[in-house]
Structure 1
């Protein structure tokens, strides 16, 4: 996967040469990889997004594996990339739930289409009362799914 490639390249850049480290050459290359990855990865995801979704399974396993996350208005427009990455994992969760505060997103019209379109592929978007900030992702998930495995 393309994310793995950028991760490998980024991780392989280290300060072997004291001279290059002093000139900040390694920092420049790491910055350049981040910039390129932030352009290439979303384009790659858009080009082949229909291939990946959560599989609806009717297994008899006792606990479901649930990925629970939250966001806020400043980051909401890039959140689809995170969810797309989760959909592309080799081990897929049973559910991916996005908890959003009604204080920040009064109704579904405030949610970007890039996220709403992911509902067709398995994303569950829940609007909840109050704003528990980053605690929404586990608080509501644990209340609603107390016997399942929750990854935040």
Structure 2
């Protein structure tokens, strides 16, 4: 595993997305290039297409995150946070999703959340390809009724 990870950049891939009361639950896989992980902070960064609107959603942390190189996490993206940012900064209904990682000695990186199946993280657990140039996009349907 260490040989496969060595030299590969951090990466993130969407596993699933579903509506929930108050927003959307995104299930994702995150992989860092160190067998001993070293993730001190994890968050989603959503950027509205066509505006400066930006929302940061913290990912609940476990003590194990600091020791794992491959994480599967679920995150609730609150609808009100996106609506508020869109109203303030003129955002629309499409949000590019990135994953913010703070590792070890404070090294910060932001990687696009790749669409499911793009990197092979969900299936094999040790993809090695570079992330795609664009992030997966969350489409917010203002007429949808949350579950």
Give the TM-score normalised by structure 1: 0.23
Q: With CA pairs under 8 Å and 6+ residues apart, which has the higher RCO, 1 or 2?
A: 2
Between Structure 1 and Structure 2, the one with more strand by share is 2
Structure ranking higher in helix proportion:
1
**TM-score, length basis structure 2:** 0.23
* Structure of greater Rg: 1
